[in-house]
Each structure stands twice: as structure tokens, then as C-alpha cells.
Amino acid sequence: MMMGFIWVVIFLIIFGVLAYHRASLAIWTICFVLLLIFVTRFCGLTIATIFCWIVFLSFFTLLNLSVWRRRFISQYLLNFYRIVMPTMSRTERQAISAGTVTWEGDLFCGNPNWNKLLSQPSARLTEEEQAFLNGPVETLCKMINDWDITHNRLDLPPEVWNFIKENGFFALIIPKKYGGKQFSAYAHSQILIKVGSVSITAGSSIAVPNSLGPAELLLHYGTEEQKDYYLPRLAKGEEIPCFALTSPVAGSDAGAMTDYGIVCWNNYDGKKTLGIRLNFNKRYITLAPIATVIGLAFKLYDPEHILGSKEDIGITCALIPRNTPGIQIGRRHFPLNTAFQNGPIQGENIFIPIEWIIGGWEKAGKGWPMLMECLAAGRAISLPASAVANAKILSYAAGAYARIRKQFNMPIGRFEGIQESLARIAAYTYIMDSARTCTAAAIDAGEKPSIASAIVKYHVTEFGRKLACDGMDIHGGKGICLGPRNYLGRSYGATPIAITVEGANILTRNMIIFGQGVIRCHPYILSELEAARLQDPKAALIAFDNVMIKHIAFGMSNVVRSLILGLTSSFIVQAPKGRMKRYYQQATRFCSAFALISDVSMLVFGGSLKRKESISARLGDILSYLYLLSTVLKHYHDQGENIDDLPIVRYACLYCLFEMQERFDEIIKNFPNRWIAIILKVLIFPLGKGFAKPRDSITHKAAQLLLSPTESRQRLAAGSFISASSENVMADIQDALIKTIAAESIEKTIKTAKKDGCIMGYNMMEQAKSALDKSIITSAEFDIFVQAEEARNKVIAVDDFANEELIRTGR
């Protein structure tokens, strides 16, 4: 009896080791042959050992002989797979196939190689890019008066528009041979952050020509003739582009687009010309009111079969000059009281030559994959940069303001409620900056990370929305009174804009991050889908069998790994040494658990999983927080692992781990099959939930880093416009912070003297004068105190206006 128990234990140990390390089928077979030989040698040919040999030979022979395996296992699984696999529209298939898979694919594998991540090139600026930031970008920021732009003009002033055009701000992504800058994605992001930290209007106006639009589409898909004509003109600012995709009935659902074109012949410039008769109604188009060339997405039809046998050709993109007869353009939307140019475009019965299709008629019907390929990279740059710009300014200003501003006779930064907000600002800003920096580096390495870009766009803009509220909580009335002194109000009001564009955030979270991510990033799902769609039965079975056997082993491994890593709290995971080691280990544990729960969810729900949006969204959250945690660890490594930053980095890591834990728990609690839910809970949390929100001690330490002019605070704000300038409120805040800190000991002396009855006065200034008269403080100390008071009053002041001053002027 005891010997049998021992052999069972040995069996389980061998099984666990092989599954944990994802051994090949050959290794499994050899190991169990050796085990059975040893069992037979020590126990003899008993009924039990004979039974074990029979089971082993039957099972492993079936697995190792591919012909039998395909006939008796894979064929039935393939038939089942074809029943449950999701149906996908053409636009869905095109969206899924767009872009490339980067680190998020490693996370899906359940056992990421952290050294691979850390060895990837970090984001760097060239000398030319840094010079552009230090020169034209710095100058532009000093030229901008955002109050004048947003209140008086509702537009950039002419001199700013001219400076932007003349200095190549519209040419960041255009190659040098066409007169462009040919900057990296990281430089592109850095430029948008610096400009966006001063003005949302200016930042958005620069972002659009360098984002999803005519220039990028031309670069990747345009004919040489189109490139040679348009790109130099775009680079010089002679042409202002916009791109019209959204229509009243088709926002995130491009497949519902009603804008259409009919292939036909018509007279154009006195000649019979093959072209397209267009009818469209677009809205929410940034730069449309001032655009000179319009990128247009529409559905193309060929009822007369001029181009071929197909009538429904598909979504197509074309470039159309503004002065084309029939285009209605120029009116403006007014998105949340911001001043960037945005408006509708309509066209009725407009004829354009077929050569105006981007890439020529050969690209007809290929517009959607073209857009998705460009969006796969661009979605990680423009909108995240805008959110990071606001976060950086807030991290620089909020702590300083909390040190400067006093209530109840002490700085509000000493209140724990304020410290909670400050710690979130510091940690979220760090996460946001890490995510956009690491993803930009991947793009510069040649990737088009479609899923990573969706993660970054969604979470960075959502973090931005949360931080806007924290900033307002700290600043109170200072934040809500608009005027030249207000550095929060416009960004707070405009926060929802980034939430709604380039894929609404609800759609991105509920349907894209996991819905598309599981197909693109899972090591086997896409190959299985492709095999199941093959028309040749034999080829389909062979292809499916080759992937299926690996997928089964992968699933077994994740079951074992999840349980073992949960029981050992992941201490056995090999991870990079250093202060962050435990976070690498815990992330690995959750990677295995994520791979497990993803496979179980797909097995249980099948093709209906994409309609189980709450489950899918939570699975997407887990993938997202794994990615964000990875970028935090990578960013901390790339920045030299500054010890001073540890409170912020630890807060960020603990936050990500806690959020992952809660999403696992929510999925398990809402899983429809309760028996499977119980098993999942045992496998993923065998010792219970072990993660909590960051402790108060970490919160306090993180907040303190923003309450003083620390290097950590400076690193968080790096890249935003914080230069000393007469027009820059941030310079006033920094000046007041330094002077306030210098005067704190003097204030303490004055307060002590007042408490002891040594001086008189009804306010601090009168008390300071009394202290000076009685030689309690020196004249030098008095001057320091006065300078601090003047600087403090300048920062906490808010704007007020006569009624007539609030009437917009300058238009």
C-alpha cells in the first residue's frame, strides 16, 4: 500500500515537472517508459503494472502515431472546432490580420522571457530630433497663448499656423527625400507631448497630419506619382490634410458605412474618363474646415463590372482636392469648447478620376486593411501623447500646488486624502509614460503592434480621465475658474475627446483588446482557425492536427503552472535579479493563469465569447495590466533603476497586480459553469487572493516625491513644457515651490513666536513684520518670507473678468 502511494507521488512529480517545463511529446513518452520500467523492476508484473503498461501503450501509441491520432482524435476535434469557432465579417478579418504581434504575444504564451524584454532597444532621440525639440518646438510653445486661442480666437493665430507650416511640424513622418523630417515614432510622441502640454488645440492640429491620414497612407500605399505630387506639398504646409472616415450612422462600426462610390465613365476635363461617382456625409473630421486635400473612405461598387466580375468591391480610400465641385466643407463642430478645427464634410454626386484612389485602382477595395495597418501603429502615438502631456503637467504642478496652498494652517499636501491623489498621479503618470515609450520603441524597431496600441490607447486615455479628476480635487476652485492662470480646466474639459476617437474606449476594451488579441497573440488559435477554414479536408486535418497537439500540451502546462506558481507564490520563477524580482515573478504567475483562463473561456463559450463582452473585457484587462506592468519594469530598467523612484514604481506594480487579481476574481464569480469556476479558483488562487492595493506607507512616500523639487518629479514631467518663461505658468509654480520650502522654517519660527505671545498681528504678513521688529527673524529671513508669500499668492490667484471681457474677440 505504501509502495503504491510512493509510486503515485513519483508519477505526479514527474507529470508536474514535465508539464511545468512544457516538455515535448517525445520527452513525455521516454520519461513514462522509464518510470514503468522502474515500477516493473521493483514491483514485478503485477495486475497493476500490467494495467499501467496497457494504458500507457494505448494512450501514447495513439498520440505518437500521427495517422491514428488524426483519425481518432484530431478529426473529431476539428469537426467540433468548426461548429464552435467564431464567425467573422470581412472587416473583422481584415482588422485581425493588420499589424504585428510584439511583447503581448509573449504574455499570452504564459511564460515570458523577461531578459528578452529588457534587451529590446529603448526609446532614444537622435541629435537632430533633440535639436528640433530644443529649437522649433520650444519656440512654438513660447508663442502659444492658450487662453487667447480657446477663448478669443477659437483658432490658432496666423503667426502660429505659419510657424507650424514653415518649420515642418506637418512633416514629422514624411521622408527627407520629399522634404520631410522622417522622425522616429518616439520623437513624434515627444513633440506632441511638449506642444500638447501647452495647448490641446496646437497639439491636435499637429497630430492629425502626422497620424492616420493622407501622408501616412500615401507613404505606405500611394503610387509614385501621388507621392511625388502630394508629399512635398504636405511637408511644406502648402496642403493641409484631413481624413474623413466617420459618418452619422457609422462610427466605430465601419462596416455600416453608407458613403459610397459607383465606378463609371464620365467626361472630365473634356475627356472621357474612368472614375467614381461619390455620395458621402462625414462628420467629426479634424482639420476639415481648413483642409485643402481630403482623404475619404467609402464603399466602392461596380454594378457594370467595369473593373471585373465583382460588384461590391469594398471600402476604398481616395484623395480629393477641396475645390472639387460638389464638396461642402468649412462649417465647424465645437468639441467640448476646444478650439481645434473640426467639422463635417458632405458630397453629392461628385465625380473623381479613378487615379485619385490612394495607390491607384489596384488598391480599390483595400481601404480597410490599409487603415487598420496604419492605425496599428498610429493609435499608440497621438492620443496617448495628448493624455501623457496632461499627466506630466499635472504631476509637475499638483504636488507643488499642494505644498504651496495652505488650509487649516498647513500645506494641503499633508492631508492623507490629498496624498492619495498625489500618489495616483505619480504612479499613473509613470505607467502612462512607460506604456507609450515602450510601444513607440517597438514601432521604431519596425513593428506595427495592433493589440499593444489598442491597450495603450485605451488605458492611457482612461488614466488621463482619472488623473483629471484627481487634479481637480487637489486644486479645487483654482481648477474650475478658467482664465490665463488656469492650467487644468481646458485639459479636464477635453478629456472625453480622446476617449471617443480612434475606436471608442468601450469598444476597444470590450471587443478589441481580447477579442482580437486572443486570435492574434495566442500561440495557436490563429493557426487553428486557418486550418479549419481550409477547403481541402486532408490538408485541413494535417494542419489542424499539428497545432492541436501542441495546444493540448500548452493547456496542460498552464493548469500545472498556475497551481504550482499559486502554491509557491511564484518564488520558484527564474527572473531578473534586483529590487523588481518579485514583480517579474508575480507577473509570470499571472501570465500562466491568464493563458489558462483564456483557453477555458474559449472552450466553454466557443464562438459566443465575443458576445460575452463583460467576460471578454475582463480578460482584456488582465492582458492589458500584464502589458502595462511589463512596460513599467522595462521603463524602470531603461532609466537606470533609480532608487529614488522606487515608491512610485512599486505603487505602479502593486496597482497592476491588484487590478489583475480583481479581474480574475470577477471572471470566476461570473463564470456561468460553477463547477469550472470552482476549479479555476483552486488553480489560480489555491491560497486565496494575496494582493492588496498599495499600502499607506507607499502612498505617503510616492506623494512626498511630488511635494518637493525631486529628481523623480523632474523625470515624471520630462518632455513637457516646463521651461522658465514669462508666459509659462509652470515656471511660476516651480519658483513658488522653491521659495515656499525656503521659507517654511521661517514661518515655523513666526508661528511659534505668535503662539508664545511674543509678537502681534492678525495675519502672517503682520506677524512677520512684528517678528522682524523684535529681531526674532533677520531682515534676510523677512525678505525670504515676503518673496515666498508673493510667489504663493501669484500661484493660488484665479482670474476674474468684467462682463464685456468675457465676450469673445479677435475673430
Residue 808 has pLDDT above 70, yes or no: no
User: For 392-407, how does the pLDDT look when each residue is reduced to its tens digit (9 = 90+)?
Assistant: 999 999 999 999 999 9
User: For 734-778, how does the pLDDT look when each residue is reduced to its tens digit (9 = 90+)?
Assistant: 999 999 999 999 989 888 888 888 888 888 888 888 888 888 889
Distance CA 652, CA 662 (A): 16
Whether the Cβ atoms of residue 227 and residue 179 lie closer than 8 Å to each other: no
Band (441; pLDDT cuts 50, 70, 90): very high
Pick from 738, 740, 726: nearest CA to 786:
740
Pick from 15, 22, 17, 10: nearest CA to 558:
22
Residue 7 has pLDDT above 70, yes or no: no
Distance CA 34, CA 81 (A): 35
User: And the C-alpha cell for 580?
Assistant: 523588481
Longest dimension (CA), the chain: 106
Band (249; pLDDT cuts 50, 70, 90): confident
Mean pLDDT of 268-289: 93
User: For 624-645, how does the pLDDT look when each residue is reduced to its tens digit (9 = 90+)?
Assistant: 999 999 999 999 999 999 999 9
Where do runs of H (alpha helix) occur along 610-728? 613-638, 646-670, 674-684, 696-706, 711-717
pLDDT score at 413: 94
Q: Is the dihedral of CA 454, 508, 529, 602 positive or negative?
A: positive
Mean pLDDT of 103-118: 93
Mean pLDDT of 428-433: 98
pLDDT greater at residue 602 or residue 190: 190
Burial (CB count <10 Å: 0-12, 13-18, 19+), residue 202: buried
Residue 785 has pLDDT above 60, yes or no: yes
Residues in Cβ contact with 304 at an 8 Å cutoff, skipping those fewer than 6 apart: 263, 264
Give me the percent of the chain exceeding a pLDDT of 90. 63
Residue 161 has pLDDT above 70, yes or no: yes
User: For 564-578, how does the pLDDT look when each residue is reduced to its tens digit (9 = 90+)?
Assistant: 999 999 999 999 999
Distance CA 62, CA 67 (A): 9
Q: How many CB atoms lie within 10 A of CB 119?
A: 9
Distance CA 778, CA 768 (A): 10
Mean pLDDT of 131-156: 94
Mean pLDDT of 247-269: 86
Residue 444 has pLDDT above 80, yes or no: yes
Residues in Cβ contact with 554 at an 8 Å cutoff, skipping those fewer than 6 apart: 22, 110, 523, 524, 595, 599
- The per-residue DSSP string of 437-467 comes to HHHHHHHHTT--BHHHHHHHHHHHHHHHHHH
* Helix/strand/coil for 320: strand
Distance CA 389, CA 468 (A): 12
pLDDT score at 394: 96
Distance CA 368, CA 372 (A): 6
pLDDT score at 811: 47
Which amino acid makes up residue 423?
Answer: A
Whether the Cβ atoms of residue 301 and residue 311 lie closer than 8 Å to each other: yes
Alpha-carbon dihedral 247, 251, 253, 255, rounded to 10 degrees: 20
pLDDT score at 695: 95
Residues in Cβ contact with 242 at an 8 Å cutoff, skipping those fewer than 6 apart: 208, 213, 285, 286, 287, 288, 291, 293, 294, 295, 345
Distance CA 353, CA 335 (A): 34
User: For 11-59, how does the pLDDT look when each residue is reduced to its tens digit (9 = 90+)?
Assistant: 677 777 777 777 777 776 777 777 767 767 777 777 777 777 777 677 7
pLDDT score at 40: 74
Distance CA 317, CA 300 (A): 9
pLDDT score at 375: 76
Pick from 460, 400, 479, 418: nearest CA to 714:
400
Average pLDDT, the chain: 89
pLDDT greater at residue 663 or residue 70: 663
pLDDT greater at residue 261 or residue 606: 261
Band (214; pLDDT cuts 50, 70, 90): confident
User: For 313-367, how does the pLDDT look when each residue is reduced to its tens digit (9 = 90+)?
Assistant: 999 999 999 999 999 998 999 999 889 999 999 999 999 999 999 999 899 998 8
Residue 196 has pLDDT above 50, yes or no: yes
Mean pLDDT of 496-509: 85
Work out whether strand 327-329 and strand 241-244 pair parallel, antiparallel, or are unpaired: unpaired
Distance CA 614, CA 515 (A): 11
Residue 158 has pLDDT above 60, yes or no: yes
- Catalytic annotation, pick one of 462, 502, 659, 781: 502
Residue 262 has pLDDT above 90, yes or no: yes
* Cα-based distances in Å from 466 to 387, 422, 425, 649, 701: 11, 12, 9, 18, 21
User: For 792-801, how does the pLDDT look when each residue is reduced to its tens digit (9 = 90+)?
Assistant: 999 999 999 9
Pick from 304, 457, 486, 323: nearest CA to 393:
486
Active site residue 502: yes
- Per-residue buried b or exposed e for 472-499, using 16+ beta carbons within 10 Å of the residue's own CB: bebbeebbebbeebbbbbbbbbbbebbb
Pick from 424, 338, 343: nearest CA to 386:
338
Q: Is the dihedral of CA 146, 147, 152, 154 positive or negative?
A: positive
Distance CA 367, CA 352 (A): 17
User: And the C-alpha cell for 11?
Assistant: 508519477
Residue 810 has pLDDT above 70, yes or no: no
- Per-residue buried b or exposed e for 450-471, using 16+ beta carbons within 10 Å of the residue's own CB: bbbbbbbbbbbbbbbbebbebb
Distance CA 95, CA 450 (A): 9
Q: How many residues does the chain have?
A: 811
pLDDT greater at residue 215 or residue 426: 426
pTM recorded for the entire structure: 0.93
3-state helix, strand, coil split of the chain in percent (to 5) is 65, 10, 25
For residue 390, give the DSSP letter: H
User: And the C-alpha cell for 693?
Assistant: 492595493
Lowest-pLDDT choice from 93-107, 114-128, 274-288: 93-107
